[in-house]
C-alpha cells in the first residue's frame, strides 16, 4: 500500500521576507482605494491596472525563466504571494489562471514563437487566460469531451461547446481540450489534444451564465467552425491524457483551496472580541489549528512539487480537506457568534459575510475536481481501488 507522505517543508527566509514586501504593497493599494478587501470577498475580483502593477513587481510568472519575463524565483515564494493576495481578497482575476496553470502549460508544450510572444505579456499582467475543459456532457469525466477539432488546410476547425468557463468574457486566450480523433478500444483516454485558442478568433460566441447569486463569473463558449493554426496545438496530437502533469497538483493544493472564505474567520475573531468566553476561545482555537494544519500540508505539497516529486495523492487530500473545512466554517462561525452582540457595525459586517459565504460554499465541492472524484484518486493512491 502507498503511504501518504507530507514532507516537513518550511517556508524559506527569502519567502518570509517577500511576505513583508507583498503586505506593504497590498496595504498601499488598499489605502489608495484601488480595492476593498471586504467588497473583494463578495464580488468578482478583476482589475487591469492592479494586474499590471503586480506584473511590474515581478509577481506574475515569478518562477519562469527570465528570458520569458519570469524571475526564476522558487515555488514557495510564489506560494507566499498567492497566500497574501488570497487573504486580502485582491483583484487577481485577470492574471491568476495564466500565472497558475496556462503559462506553465505553454512553457512545457508551446512553440518557441508562442512562448516568446505570450509569456512576457502574461508576466506584465496584460494577458488573461481561461480554461476550456468542461462541456455539457463532460465534467468530471474529461475524457468524454466531444468538442471536435478537424484537420483543415494550415490547422484545425473547431466545433462544439464548452461550459462553466470562468472568465471567458475577459480572456484573451483559452487553453482548450478538443477531440482530434476517436478513443481507441484499448485506451478510452486517447484522441484529445490541447490547443491555444485566441479568443478574438471569428466563430466564437461567449454566452454568460450567472451563478446562484446572480454574478457573472462563468460562461458557455460556443465554437462554430473556429480556425486554430497548426502551431497552436500544445504537445502531442491525441495524447493530452499524457500531459496531466504537476499543474493539476498545483491547481489543487494551493492556498486558494482553503482560504477562499478566510474573511469569515477574521470577522469571527473580531466579533468575539479580545476576551471571548471559553466556548468562543475553544472554537476559534480549533478552527485556527485546523487551518494551520491545512496550510502546513499545502506548503508541503508545493515544496514536494518544487523538489520534482509527484504528490498527486497529497494534493488531492489538501483540496478535499480544504473544501470540507471551508464548508463547515460558516456553520461553526454562526454557532459561535450566535449570542454575541458586540459592536453593531462589526456584527452587521459579519452577518453580511456569513450570508455570502453560506451561499457560495456549495460550489467549492465542484470547482477544481469534485470531492467524490478526489476521494477516488486518494483511494487509488492508497492502493484501495
Ligand atoms: C465556480 C466554478 C468554476 C468553474 N470553472 C471552470 C473552468 O474555468 N473551466 C472548466 O473547464 N470547468 C470549470 N468548472 C466546471 C467544473 O470543473 C465541473 O463542473 C466539474 O468538473 C464537474 O463536472 P459536471 O458539472 O459535469 O458534473 P459531473 O461530472 O456530471 O458530476 C456530477 C456528480 O457526480 C459525481 N461523480 C462524477 N464522476 C464520478 C466518479 N467517477 N466517481 C464518483 N462520483 C462521481 C460528481 O462528484 C458530482 O457530484 C467550474 C465549476 C465551478 C463550480
For 187-216, what is each residue's pLDDT tens digit? 999 999 999 999 999 999 999 999 988 999
Tell me the Cα Rg of the chain.
21
Angle between helices 312-336 and 278-306 (to 10 degrees): 160
Give the whole-angstrom CA distance, residue 22 versus residue 39. 20
- Residue 229 sits at φ, ψ, to 5 deg, of -65, 155
The terminus-to-terminus CA distance of the chain in angstroms comes to 11
The string of pLDDT tens digits covering residues 138-161 is 999 989 999 999 999 999 999 999
CA 369 – ligand 1 centroid, Å: 6
Q: What is the DSSP secondary-structure string of 280-291?
A: HHHHHHHHHHHH
Atom of ligand 1 nearest to the CA of 168: 8
Confidence of residue 248 (pLDDT cuts 50, 70, 90): confident
C-alpha distance from residue 352 to each of 36, 135, 262, 267, 326 (Å): 15, 34, 14, 10, 17
Model confidence, pTM:
0.94
Give the whole-angstrom CA distance, residue 75 versus residue 63. 6
Atom of ligand 1 nearest to the CA of 368: 17
- Residue 219 sits at φ, ψ, to 5 deg, of -150, 165
Determine if ligand 1 sits within 6 Å of the CB of residue 28.
Answer: no
**Does residue 257 contact residue 322 with C-beta atoms inside 8 Å?**
yes
Higher pLDDT, 265 or 256: 265
For a ligand 1 pocket test, name from 93, 134, 147 the mutation site with the most ligand atoms within 8 angstroms of its C-beta: 134
CA 20 – ligand 1 centroid, Å: 37
Determine if ligand 1 sits within 6 Å of the CB of residue 92.
Answer: no
CA 318 – ligand 1 centroid, Å: 18
Confidence of residue 44 (pLDDT cuts 50, 70, 90): low
The pLDDT of residue 99: 96
- Residue closest by Cα to atom 23 of ligand 1: 139
**Does residue 93 contact residue 46 with C-beta atoms inside 8 Å?**
yes
CA 18 – ligand 1 centroid, Å: 35
| Secondary structure letter of residue 239 according to DSSP | B
The whole-number average pLDDT for the span 113-123 is 98
State the average pLDDT for the chain.
94
Specify the long-range contacts of residues 111-118, CB closer than 8 Å, at least 24 apart: 111/231, 113/231, 114/196, 114/231, 114/232, 115/68, 116/68, 118/173, 118/196
Torsional sign, CA 308, 313, 314, 317: positive
Determine if ligand 1 sits within 6 Å of the CB of residue 181.
Answer: no
Q: Position of cell 472568465?
A: 167
Give the whole-angstrom CA distance, residue 48 versus residue 147. 31
Amino acid at each position: 500500500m502507498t503511504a501518504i507522505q507530507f514532507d516537513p517543508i518550511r517556508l524559506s527566509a527569502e519567502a518570509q521576507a517577500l511576505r513583508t514586501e507583498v503586505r506593504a504593497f497590498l496595504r498601499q493599494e488598499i489605502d489608495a482605494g484601488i480595492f476593498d478587501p471586504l467588497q473583494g470577498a463578495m464580488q468578482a475580483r478583476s482589475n487591469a491596472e492592479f494586474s499590471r502593477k503586480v506584473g511590474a513587481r515581478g509577481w506574475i510568472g515569478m518562477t519562469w525563466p527570465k528570458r520569458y519575463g519570469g524571475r526564476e524565483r522558487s515555488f514557495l515564494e510564489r506560494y507566499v504571494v498567492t497566500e497574501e493576495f488570497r487573504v486580502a481578497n485582491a483583484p487577481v482575476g485577470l492574471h491568476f489562471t495564466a500565472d497558475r496553470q496556462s503559462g506553465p502549460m505553454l512553457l512545457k508544450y508551446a512553440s518557441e514563437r508562442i512562448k516568446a510572444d505570450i509569456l512576457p505579456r502574461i508576466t506584465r499582467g496584460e494577458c488573461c487566460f481561461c480554461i476550456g475543459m468542461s462541456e455539457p456532457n463532460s465534467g468530471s469525466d474529461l475524457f468524454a469531451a466531444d468538442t471536435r477539432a478537424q484537420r483543415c488546410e494550415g490547422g484545425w476547425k473547431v466545433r462544439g461547446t464548452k461550459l462553466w468557463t470562468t472568465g471567458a468574457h475577459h480572456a484573451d486566450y483559452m487553453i482548450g481540450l478538443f477531440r482530434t480523433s476517436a478513443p481507441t478500444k484499448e485506451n478510452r483516454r486517447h484522441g484529445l489534444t490541447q490547443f491555444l485558442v485566441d479568443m478574438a478568433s471569428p466563430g466564437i460566441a461567449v454566452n454568460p451564465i450567472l451563478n446562484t447569486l446572480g454574478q457573472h463569473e462563468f460562461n458557455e463558449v460556443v465554437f462554430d467552425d473556429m480556425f486554430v493554426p497548426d502551431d497552436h496545438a500544445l504537445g502531442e496530437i491525441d495524447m493530452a491524457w499524457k500531459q496531466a502533469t504537476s499543474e493539476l497538483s498545483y491547481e489543487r493544493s494551493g492556498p486558494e483551496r482553503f482560504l477562499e472564505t478566510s474573511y469569515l474567520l477574521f470577522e469571527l475573531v473580531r466579533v468575539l472580541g479580545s476576551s471571548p468566553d471559553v466556548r468562543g476561545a475553544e472554537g476559534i482555537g480549533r478552527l485556527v489549528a485546523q487551518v494551520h494544519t491545512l496550510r502546513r500540508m499545502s506548503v508541503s505539497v508545493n515544496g514536494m512539487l518544487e523538489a520534482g516529486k509527484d504528490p498527486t495523492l497529497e494534493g488531492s487530500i489538501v483540496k478535499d480537506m480544504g473544501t470540507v473545512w471551508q464548508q463547515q466554517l460558516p456553520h461553526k462561525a454562526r454557532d459561535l457568534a450566535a449570542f454575541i452582540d458586540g459592536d453593531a457595525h462589526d456584527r452587521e459586517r459579519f452577518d453580511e459575510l456569513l450570508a455570502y459565504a453560506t451561499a457560495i460554499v456549495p460550489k467549492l465541492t465542484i470547482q477544481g475536481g469534485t470531492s467524490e472524484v478526489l476521494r477516488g484518486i486518494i483511494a487509488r493512491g492508497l492502493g484501495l481501488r
